[in-house]
Structure 1
Amino acid sequence: MLKPLLFMLTIVTLVAISLNIDFSSETSITQEPIKISIKEEILASPEEKDVPSIPSLASLSTAKHLHDELNLLLQKAKKLFKDNKDSEALLIYEKIIEKSKNSNELKVLKIFAEACFEKAIIHYIYPNYDADSAIESYELVKDRLENSNNKELLLLYMQSRLYQAPFISKEEILITYDELIEKFTNDKEKRFDKEIEELLFTKSFILMGVDDEGAMEVLDSIIAKYENQTELPDTVKFSILNNIELSIITANDPDKYIELATEYMSDSPDTQALLQMLDIIRNAQNLDQTESLEKWFKEHANYKFPDWDFSELRKWTNNMEILETQTRINSYLDSFEKQKYNNIYQPSSTINPTIKGNEEEIY
């Protein structure tokens, strides 16, 4: 099962925050010019006109002053946290949150969100383990930014919900993903196609081992969007390969996914090695695959199985009723995993497959 870095979205982003990623960096936002008919403008009464309010120089100056003040406090809190002065850092984060939560300024709200995220980290890391307070901090961001129309703020809203995953049940996590997917799908400006794909892709992993058929359906929905296109993004390529594996696990026909992989991914260095490996596992349910296995090791001796995880195949074989089939497939998986380990940690060594009697073990 391909498990690329986006599957670790929650962990990676948490680490990113702790490494002081700057949420307050200035972002330029380009707006489309508003086209108004001159005739309509002349005929419109003052009551009908939507006259935008222009912020005064004083209010702009105040907003900048607040941003600069909060940014200094943020850096001070981060330094205190780095120096293991958690209690002092928490007090400053609380001060930042209080000063920024009612602002409508983009940069100030980004600092607000970062302060909440940093505060949550302090709450649940050693020696605190205060999950309730961590969730509270995430909920502050969720409630404040949920109804925003700004894309950056909506992405912070998304993060505030995903960061709660370690503290809630798998069922609640799935509900979270469904709600985020629905919210972003309903975006009138269609600004979240990439995020929707990533959410769907990660949702498929959550379903694996619990509802493999459901996981396949989610991956199918990603694949279907790119039907008849010449180039596929990585999420779609991963989805195709993962559905080949899930087809084997669920006793479905993987041929349509194999055809897609052959058509769209033949130039990928991973495709042939993975397709042949999965074909060996599939056929091993009924027949000895020693010959095919030896051929695979000769052709792909240096293959490292990047991003590939064998856990779903292991779960599948562990539930097999026929011991002979289970033993055979497990021995093949042992061989593939050994090559992955050796090629990652001992890149100079070459694996030479040999057959030991009828055990069909490869070393």
Structure 2
Amino acid sequence: MSLESLGWGPAFTHAFASLVSQFPHPLVPGRVVRQQRGLLTVQTASRAVLARTAGRLLHQAPGAQALPTIGDWVALQLPDGEGEALLHAVLPRTSVLARREAGSERDGQLIAANLDVVFLAAGLDGNFNPRRIERALSLAWSSGASPVVLLTKADLQPGAASLVAEVEALAPGVPVLALSARTGEGVESVSAHLPAGKTGALLGSSGVGKSTLVNRLLGDSRLVTQAVREEDDKGRHTTTHRELFVLPGGGLLIDGPGMRELGLLGGEDEGIEQTFSDILELAEGCRFSDCQHQGEPGCAVRAAVASGALPEARLASYERLRREQAFQARKASVTPERENRRHERARTTMAWDALRSKRRRD
């Protein structure tokens, strides 16, 4: 398998060339194509190898988000025989999708790196939630990749067309596709957004049919699927790891466990701004440039709500996500001691995972 077929390009060639001179031993480039906790499989130009993260990288990385994840391009020292490769460095990323884990003060959880597209899957089988789609869009835009909304299980929803129109209204300029992985309806439109050499990731909660969709795109039943409980439309996690698949047309698709919680990270609010660009456009008409849309005189945003041009629920969603992101930004201003504890936990987890893997093989 060529590196180019995995998405390798001139920028990665340049980054790798400037990196190898820093190490005394030969290194080869590869892409992380499978991740189960700290256990990584890396595809090089010649073979796929299990890899463990070098101690130097574990200890010198500034935080958990600097450690390797699925989709990363990395520099490897290959073993002489059939043993593990040693992963020495992560090449600069073109994009990174991450979320805040619910109830956690740790660094954000990396979901995938070097993405061109983020497919946001939402089921039409009774658990349709526009506010969750807005949250997912904010996360996707923040990654640096382009979002595409997939409304799955369209065969179970007679009013699918009206729901597509509703999502298109809250996601201006974002492709919204209704499909059924079970029947195959609309699935070909997903492949059209993932040409050869481009990488996408599937993001959605358990039970929306991600595994069924991947199987349909691959043309086989490689992933296990489970039925959704009818009483609450919730599925169980059938995917327990993250994996990068090469589709028949040459596109690359990353799938992983379903996610019910999509917490935003603190920092730049570009994702929220792009998701709610209509509100920002309205805000330009406010009398005061620092208007908070809380009843100030001459507020164009509140006037739009009063006239029905802007749904109040959408404004509430925008304000809720902005508050959440601001709160996370304040929490991110941690002391060096606290940051060191976070980093130490990440190093310990990866070290234990590597040790357990070695014991199983021995």
The answer to whether TM tops 0.5 is no
The higher radius of gyration belongs to: 1
Q: Which structure carries more strand by proportion? A: 2
Tell me the TM-score normalized by structure 2: 0.26
Structure 1 or 2: more helix by fraction: 1
In the superposition, the TM-score normalised over structure 1's length comes to 0.26
